[in-house]
Copies of this chain bind each other. A is one copy, B any other.
Amino acid sequence: MKSLLLVAHGSRRVESNEEVRILASRLAAATAEYFSVSCAFLELAEPSIPDGLRAAIGAGATEVVVLPYFLSAGRHVVSDIPAEVDVVRKERPDVAITLAPYLGAAQELAGVLLKLARS
């Protein structure tokens, strides 16, 4: 029972958080790999990363992939998100929680950007 948790920074602007929720729904619709796809926020919006992980596990996940929706490998990606994930790893050592690379690390971004530039 594998779940995907998309993690964004979180914004004071409600619409920005809503964009992330819609993206999580699109990911869910695009694949059957995960029993659930949800999102969580590092700050300024709910749920927090630990609460997002707890909700996925409470719903039955035995494996969760945390995917940082961030463009640069700054403090948030390098330290803050791993620290939040570790809180739940300690609570639930029976669940396999893995951290995927952050979005900015994706080689495919170059192609996506060049296509946008043409639109």
Residue positions of A touching B, CB distance < 8 A: 4, 6, 8, 11, 13, 15-16, 19-20, 23, 26-27, 30-31, 33, 65, 67, 69, 71-75, 100-106, 108-119
Contacts and interface: CB of A to CB of B under 8 A. Distances in A.
A85 B75 CA distance: 30
A108 B115 CA distance: 10
A77 to B, nearest CB: 10
A13 B106 contact: no
Integer count of this chain's copies in the complex: 2
A113 B103 contact: yes
8 contacts: A16-B72, A23-B109, A27-B110, A67-B116, A69-B71, A100-B117, A103-B116, A108-B108
Nearest to A75: B13
B106 A115 contact: yes
A114 to B, nearest CB: 5
B108 A72 contact: no
Instruction: Give the residue among A20, A100, A116 with the most B Cβ atoms within 10 A.
Output: A116
